[in-house]
């Protein structure tokens, strides 16, 4: 299934995208939670009910008539990993890590699959990183690698937008990875059964139609299941947590090609979908105090 969060006629809910339509679960299965994290937390029974509703003959909305939102607007955790493709390690001139390099993206950075990304007032060194993300589907701790697939609800596309000078101001990288609007995700969560092997997916990133990144998730140094095992050793993972699995070579910092207002970044992952985000100057109204 393709599980989406969408807005239609000023109402936001969750649904199942099928071809060029979407099943509004609030109408088709009103007993289900109407927010994605709560829906995932409801477990296999909720997934089965959504699947049944999607298979029914109830009304569907044209996909073109709705606005796709971030599938999870405020994940409890938004984790990411650095230097996780060998070709990206090589282009940076660093050594492959012996242990995964995790960092946080603050959840307030999350935006939807077509929302604008701000070039911040604080820097012009704005970069893209097309990545595969996965979503935790159940509360878990100490998950062995061989059972990690059981706790992943599905997969989505992520652009780990980065402010490079701020990234390197501190070894945690969190500041440079967490500016508002710098976590586009979507276009939906594709359930694990539909994705199949998450480690055999083509990934491409374009800027203004120019192909900048092209790789396959088989090139991950620490794959999705490794990452679940490591993270869950340290702390509890919960439904709706997002993990972004790293970016391949072709990032802007190496080419000295920074994103500027007017650019459009498109990230596509096989069997999952596309996010496409325009870059704009940070608006003045973002100043709040």
Q: How confident is the model at residue 201 (pLDDT cuts 50, 70, 90)?
A: very high
Query: Interior CA angle at 72 toward 228 and 45, to 5°?
Result: 75
Name the 3-class secondary structure at 49.
helix
What DSSP state is assigned to residue 148? Answer: G
Handedness of CA 113, 114, 120, 126 (dihedral sign): positive
Alpha helices in the chain (DSSP H): 25-28, 36-41, 44-55, 86-92, 164-167, 174-177, 192-195, 224-234, 252-255
| Integer Cα distance of 17 and 7 in angstroms | 13
Q: How confident is the model at residue 289 (pLDDT cuts 50, 70, 90)?
A: confident
**pLDDT one-digit tens code per residue, 223-249:** 999 999 999 999 999 999 999 999 999
pLDDT at 184 over 80: yes
Count of H-run helices and E-run strands, the chain = 9, 19
Q: How confident is the model at residue 108 (pLDDT cuts 50, 70, 90)?
A: very high
| Integer Cα distance of 104 and 78 in angstroms | 6
Sheet holding 264-269, edge to edge: 117-119, 273-281, 264-269, 202-207, 210-216
| Full set of structural domains in the chain with CATH | 2-68 (no CATH), 78-286 (3.90.850.10)
Query: Which helix or strand (DSSP H or E) is residue 81 part of?
Result: strand 78-82
pLDDT of residue 190: 98
pLDDT of residue 46: 97
Name the 3-class secondary structure at 218.
helix
> Which residues, 6+ apart, have CB-to-CB distance to 102 below 8 Å?
79, 80, 81, 82, 230, 231
pLDDT at 58 over 80: no
**pLDDT one-digit tens code per residue, 121-159:** 999 999 999 999 999 999 999 999 999 999 999 999 999
Nearest Cα neighbor of 158 from 119, 121, 105 is 105
Regarding pTM above 0.95, the answer is: yes
pLDDT of residue 63: 97
| Integer Cα distance of 1 and 39 in angstroms | 14
């Amino acid at each position: 299934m393709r599980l989406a969060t969408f807005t239609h006629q000023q109402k936001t809910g969750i649904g199942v995208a099928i071809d060029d339509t979407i099943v509004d679960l609030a109408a088709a299965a009103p007993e289900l939670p109407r927010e994605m994290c709560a829906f995932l937390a409801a477990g296999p029974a909720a997934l089965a009910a959504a699947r049944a509703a999607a298979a029914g003959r109830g009304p569907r909305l044209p996909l073109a008539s709705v606005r796709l939102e971030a599938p999870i607007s405020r994940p409890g955790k938004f984790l990411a990993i650095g230097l996780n493709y060998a070709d990206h390690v090589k282009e940076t001139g660093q050594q492959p890590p012996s242990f995964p390099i995790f960092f946080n993206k603050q959840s307030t950075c999350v935006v939807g699959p077509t929302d604008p990304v701000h070039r911040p007032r604080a820097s012009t060194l704005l970069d893209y990183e097309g990545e595969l993300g996965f979503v935790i589907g159940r509360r878990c701790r100490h998950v062995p690698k061989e059972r990690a697939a059981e706790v992943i609800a599905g997969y989505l596309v992520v652009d780990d937008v980065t402010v490079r000078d701020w990234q390197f101001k501190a070894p945690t990288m969190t500041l440079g990875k967490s500016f508002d609007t710098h976590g586009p995700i979507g276009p939906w969560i594709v359930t694990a059964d539909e994705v199949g092997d998450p480690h055999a997916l083509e990934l491409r990133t374009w800027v203004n139609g120019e192909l900048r990144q092209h790789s396959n998730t088989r090139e991950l140094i620490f794959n999705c299941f490794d990452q679940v095992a490591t993270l869950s050793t340290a702390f509890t993972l919960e439904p709706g947590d997002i993990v972004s699995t790293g970016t391949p070579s072709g990032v802007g910092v190496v080419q000295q090609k920074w994103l500027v207002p007017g650019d459009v970044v498109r990230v596509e992952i096989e069997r999952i979908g596309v996010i496409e985000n325009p870059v704009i100057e940070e608006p003045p109204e973002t100043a709040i105090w």
